[in-house]
Structure 1
Amino acid sequence: MLRLPRRLPMPRSLLGRMLLLTLLVVTLAQSLSSVIWVSQLRATQLEGLVTSARSLAHSMGASVSYFRSLPLAYRPLVLDQLRSMGGTRFFVSLNDKPLGMPALPDTPRKHAVTQAVEQVLREKLGVDMDILVTFVSPDDLRIFNSGLKLDELPRSWAHYALTLEPVNPPVLVTQIQLAPGEWLYIASLLPDPYTTLEEGGLPAQQVGFLIITSAFLLLFIGLLVHWQSRPLKRLARAARDMSLGAVVEEPVVQGGGSEVVEVGRAFNAMRARISRYLTERSQLFSAISHDLRTPITRLRLRVELLEDEEVQAKFSRDLDELELLVKGALQCVKDTDIHENIEPVDLNQLMHHLIEPFLASGRVTLHGDARRLYPGKPLALKRCIGNLVDNALKYGNTAHLFVEDNRHAFVLHVDDEGPGVPEQRQEQVFEPHFRLAGQQQGYGLGLGIARNIAHSHGGEVTLQNLREGGLRVTLVLGRGGD
């Protein structure tokens, strides 16, 4: 499995991640292919360069053989005649010693050329010949015994053979000893396209081709992922609406690949089963509510007919407890199973409406606000936040509300100044009918109902004891990056 570095920011959407991974893969593949292509290109160029150098060396060998065949007195005359006629492919001169010039730094290509030229010349002229082959910059080039520079000569003598403005490539200088005190000097440029001897990089046309192909590939991948992700987005919206209790009358439209179609089909079947279960549960609790009220009322009437007051009190106490349990259970179901339509809720207005009666006394404070509307059930959210505020006021005397809101979640902290809740019992307080303070009135359902409503909105309610004393209840409602 390919693991990206942790520091690399990953997009949250499927489209963004697919495009990023595709870009990385395309870049890696194109880079690898470009490296292979450039290495092959350079190998081909080096082979062509050596071939051209050998051909040049054969021409040099022929020139050397020609000069060696001339009488000594004719050699300067022939050179003067060649210069007067505009020169040849080489610049040739006769010197009494090899001219010293700073050679250019050796590179693999320069070394291959000098080695090939020297090898061919020795094959044609003899292995015992004194031959010096080197590359010299045009600025450091010396021509005659007097050390004249190239710019100090008439242009017709050497400029046309040894310069290629504005490139000014290196000059191949070959000096061969014909006899004691007589050195034949031959200067030449390599033929095009090997004039500069530089290793070619990736051509601009090849770079443009890679960019265009990568762009088209990313475009097609983006369109494909966008087309495949649309059914998933519809499925996510339907799942969120169903989790909030909305009635999803129409099944989710199935589309995309076979795997996505199978997921949509499974979701539609699950939605139908859950809808039937919720309907049956609502009918069950309605029947329980109706059926229990009548026998409890009948028992109360019979208890009042008892003559023994002590027995009457015991029966009344048991009936009160039974009625309290029934009402608590029904209230828990009623408060968590609120049938409302999902709509944008102004959480700022909702919170201000809840805390307005307590602002004058200073028992409730509010810090921060929601940045935008939240899609949910208005009455359920009001009951959830109201339960948190009421719980803080009941057990902590104050309620300080702190709001944090961003694109990912709405977070509400409700702090009080009470004794807090022991850590080992923080999960128990969410259970029905559980109360830490036995003397307090109520069913012990407030926090449990708040958490159930938060769960139905895809959120959570947690507890945390504050260091300075008191309890912090945190409500987190995810926005899903909307």
Structure 2
Amino acid sequence: MALNSSGKERSLLWRWVPSSLLGRVLLLTLLAMAGAQIISSAAWVATYRAQQEEGLVATTRNLAQSASATVQFFNSLPQEYRHIVLDQLRDMGGTRFFVSLNDKRIDMTPLPDTARKQLVMEEVRSVLHQRLGNRINLHVDFVYPDNLRILNTELPLDALPRSWAHYALTLEPLNPPVMVTQIEVDQGEWLYLAAALPAPFVSLEEEGIPGQQILFVVVMIGILFPVLAWLIRQQTRPLRKLARATRDLPLDDATPPLKEQGSAEIVAVTRSFNTMRRRLQSYISDREQLFRAISHDLKTPITRLRLRVDLIEDEPMRQRLEADLQELELLVKNALQSMKDTDIHENAEPVDIERMLRGMGEAYQSGGARRVTVQGHCRRYRGKPLALKRCLGNLVDNAVKYGRVARVRIEDEPGRLVIHVEDEGPGVPEDQLARIFEPYYRLQASQRQGHGLGLGIARNIAQNHGGELVIANRAGGGLHVTLTLPRH
């Protein structure tokens, strides 16, 4: 069951693969371009993120060093001067940090934890402990400006005068996160330092693929794909013409040879096809001339023999000779007819096979009795009209002649046309089924009806169309003939 299910999955996947060379090349090209862009974009994004992290760490390291210098400066001031210095800084504005002395540590809603945030916070703590000592009590976190709280009264940022905190805590319109460092400098006294992350490193979240990179990939594929599709279509157009010419194989002199254009390989194949077509034309012309010569040359001695037979006085002998001459003349005519029926001079065109079969059925109708029945429907089939008519006519005629009735069933499938012909005759011995297509082969030596050429001609016509003709015995008696013609 597992093998069957995997086989079904492969067949379903294979259905999505285009059948044309153009479609497959475009699909492979699209997959290759997508794979190359994914790999290059992944490498570019990895490099971009590494550069962003490196710049962010360097920026926060500088902020931490400035914060440690500010803490050292306030620790060096007498306590009675600290508030005076803070008031002067606020009145002056323009400082990198918003600094205040609070009597407690202020709790705020921090940014969500990310790998980049943890990396930056570890760097800030490392610098502060290195500059201020490992025994200090400090708290570092990052908050959004909307969640920022300032002073002992925990005022929001909008409640302060713009001259106090605008420069240090806002960076419009980016509105970056604010690094808040709170350090206990004395008992019940916390130094509060807040500063916005400077541009361009203003994000602590993992960034996705930048929009400009996606736009670049889309624009590149949108430009290259149509150009590539046009180029491949131009290169495969001679192949389509060659396939159409091979299918139709026009052998009349009025049809010009194919133009030798395209790549070197396609030109070589087209040249070989034109050479083959010329050789076939020459071969068929020589064969026709040969059969015409044979027919012409045989008519004269047969006529002379008939005249001489008329001079024979022995009646039994004369009748036997006349029968032999009649049989000889009939064999010559049948040989010529066989050559004509299997000829491939016709050009292919759409043929209404269903209408052709129903017309044959009406021709065999007599006295209200239908000896030929036709079931099913089919679209037009591209083939050689007269050759197909001879092929189907031989099959129907053979079924009616030896099996009394012919039941025809049409099956029109996406890739082929199948025609079944069944009769109610005696059938054919299994050991003789393989010889039934041989010329002049008949089941009984005394059988005078027909010359054993019809089925051979039908099979040759089917093979000329790329199809096949199969004959088998029916379980209930009679023959079952299956004609399969591919749809191109």
TM-score if structure 1 supplies the norm length? 0.83
Q: Secondary structure at the match of 1:92?
A: strand
Structure 2 runs not aligned, ≥5 long: 1-9
> Gaps spanning 5+ residues in structure 1: where?
none
For residues 181-204 of structure 1, give each alpha carbon's deviation from its aligned partner in whole angstroms, at most 9, with x where no partner exists. Answer: 333233333222322323333322
3-state SS of the aligned residue for 1:278? helix
For 1:66-105, list aligned pairs within 5 A. 66-79=73-86, 88-99=95-106, 103-105=110-112
Tell me, yes or no, if the aligned pair for 2:418 and 2:485 is still in contact at 8 Å.
Answer: yes
State the SS of the aligned residue for 1:430: coil
**1:410 alignment counterpart:** 417
Q: Aligned pair 1:116/2:123, yes or no? A: yes
Specify whether residues 144 and 469 from structure 1 end up closer, same or farther in structure 2 by C-alpha distance, changes over 3 A only.
farther
Deviation at 1:30, TM superposition (A): 1.3
DSSP 3-state at the match of 1:250: coil
Alignment of 1:380-399 (within 5 A): 380-399=387-406
- Is 1:63 equivalent to 2:70 in the alignment? yes
- Equivalent-residue separation in structure 1 for 2:432 and 2:151 (angstroms): 103
| Cα displacement (A) at 1:252 | 1.8
Aligned to 1:232: 239
Distance 1:258 1:267 in 2: 14
When the two structures are aligned, how many residues end up with a matched partner? 472
Q: Does the 8 Å CA contact 2:110/2:144 hold for their aligned counterparts? A: yes
2:261 aligned partner, one-letter code: G
Tell me, yes or no, if the aligned pair for 1:407 and 1:479 is still in contact at 8 Å. Answer: yes
Q: 2:205 aligns with which of 198, 205, 215?
A: 198
- % same residue: 54
Specify the alignment match of 1:475 in structure 2: 483
Match of 2:29 in 1: 22
Supply the distance in 1 between the matched residues of 2:353 and 2:320 (Cα, whole angstroms).
47
Query: Residues 425 and 49 of structure 1: is their aligned pair in 2 closer, same or farther, counting only changes over 3 Å?
Result: farther
CA contact (8 A) 1:462 1:475 kept: yes
Q: Which range is displaced more, 170-179 or 312-321? A: 312-321
Q: State the partner residue of 1:430.
A: 437
Task: Kindly indicate whether the alpha-carbon contact (under 8 Å) linking 1:411 and 1:475 is maintained by their aligned counterparts in 2.
Answer: yes
Which of 460-469 and 46-55 deviates more?
Answer: 460-469
Distance in structure 2 (CA, Å) of the matches to 1:293 and 1:414 = 38
Deviation at 1:427, TM superposition (A): 4.2
Aligned to 1:455: 463
C-alpha separation in 1, matches of 2:324 and 2:217: 84
CA contact (8 A) 2:411 2:418 kept: yes
Structure 2: which amino acid aligns with 1:331?
A: Q
Letter in 1 for 2:273: F
Residue of 274, 277, 282 corresponding to 1:271: 277
How far does residue 346 in structure 1 lie from its aligned partner after superposition? Answer: 3.1
Pick from 256, 280, 305 the counterpart of residue 286 of structure 2: 280
CA–CA distance in structure 2, aligned partners of residues 13 and 211 of structure 1? 25
- Pick the aligned partner of 1:362 from 358, 363, 370: 370
Distance 1:278 1:449 in 2: 17
Change (3 A) 1:257 1:440: same
* Aligned residue number for residue 330 of structure 1: 336
Q: CA deviation at 1:32?
A: 1.2
SS across alignment from 2:420: strand
Structure 2 distance, partners of 1:108, 1:158, is 29
One-letter amino acid of the counterpart of residue 240, structure 1: R
TM-score, with structure 2 as normaliser: 0.82
Local SS of the residue matching 2:204: coil
Alignment-derived partner of residue 229 in structure 2: 222
The residue matched to 1:201 in structure 2 has which SS? Answer: coil
The 3-state SS of whatever aligns with 2:374 is: strand
- Paired position in structure 1 for 2:265: 259
Report which stretch shifted further, 428-437 or 292-301: 292-301
Amino acid at match of 2:378: A
Q: Secondary structure at the match of 2:47?
A: helix
Q: Give the superposition deviation at 1:343.
A: 4.0
Cα distance change on mapping 1:273 and 1:196 into 2, 3 Å: same
DSSP-derived class of the 1:253 partner: coil
Between 411-420 and 60-69, report the one with greater CA deviation.
411-420
Q: More deviation in 159-168 or 424-433?
A: 159-168
1:212 matched to 2:219? The reply is yes
Equivalent residue for 1:349? Answer: 355
**Displacement of 1:271 after TM fit?**
1.6
Shift of 1:53: 1.0
**C-alpha displacement of 1:86:** 6.6
Q: Per-residue displacement from partner, 1:12-65 (whole Å, max 9, x unpaired)?
A: 322222222211111111111111111111111111111111121122122212
Query: Per-residue displacement from partner, 1:381-424 (whole Å, max 9, x unpaired)?
Result: 21111112122223433323333346644333323344555676
Structure 2: distance between partners of 1:364 and 1:155: 105
Q: Report the Cα distance in structure 2 between the residues aligned to 1:185 and 1:419, rounded to whole angstroms.
A: 111
Does the C-alpha gap of structure 1 residues 436 and 127 become closer, same or farther in structure 2, counting only changes over 3 Å?
farther
Residue aligning to 2:453: 445
Cα shift readout 1:196-250 (whole Å, capped 9, x = no counterpart): 32333332222222222222222222222222223223323332332x6544642
Counterpart CA distance in 2 for 1:140 and 1:467 is: 90
Residues 422 and 308 from structure 1, CA distance in 2 versus in 1: closer, same or farther, beyond 3 angstroms?
Answer: closer
Distance in 1, matches of 2:475 and 2:181, equals 89
Match of 2:114 among 101, 107, 111: 107
| Deviation (angstroms), 1:106 | 3.4
In 1: Cα distance, 2:384 partner to 2:324 partner: 38
Q: Secondary structure at the match of 1:369?
A: coil
